[in-house]
Amino acid sequence: MPVKRKPAYLLHKPSGQARVRFHKRDIYLGKYGSQESRDHYEEVLAEWFAENDGESLTLTIDELCIRFMKHAEEYYRTKDGVLTGEAQLIRYALRPLVRLYGTTRAREFGPKKLKAVR
């Protein structure tokens, strides 16, 4: 994948604390704007990037598309649980990408390669 975005250093207004959000979960860092909270923020980021960096170095376009299709097949369902046609349309849209760049590492895939797929 291209470089991962760094989660933002945020203010939790009701408590006045600094927070950072990972996977829909808030981690409170201490008083907003304090050096202690900034240091804690940097520690949390370092741990997060260390945990996730190994996977991002080796993830291929094939693996990424498989993961996305699993998500699409769970997400694009009616209230009754029946799969909609949207998942199949996504599968068709991903075919040229996989055909051209399936074995390419996701972090090496950029705008020029996307343009080639289009």
Q: Give me the DSSP letters along 6-37.
A: PPP-EEETTTTEEEEEETTEEEEEEETT-HHH
Whether 66 and 111 map to the same domain: the answer is yes
- Give percent above pLDDT 90 in the chain: 58
4 within a domain of the structure (yes/no): no
Whether 65 and 108 map to the same domain: the answer is yes
Q: What is the pLDDT of residue 3?
A: 45
101 within a domain of the structure (yes/no): yes
Total count of domains within the chain: 2
5 within a domain of the structure (yes/no): no
Whether 66 and 44 map to the same domain: the answer is no
Q: What is the pLDDT of residue 25?
A: 84
1 within a domain of the structure (yes/no): no
Whether 69 and 45 map to the same domain: the answer is no
Q: Kindly report whether the global pTM for this prediction surpasses the value 0.85.
A: no
Structural domain span for residue 18:
10-57
Whether 76 and 91 map to the same domain: the answer is yes
What are the residue ranges in the chain where pLDDT is below 70? 1-4, 50-57
2 within a domain of the structure (yes/no): no
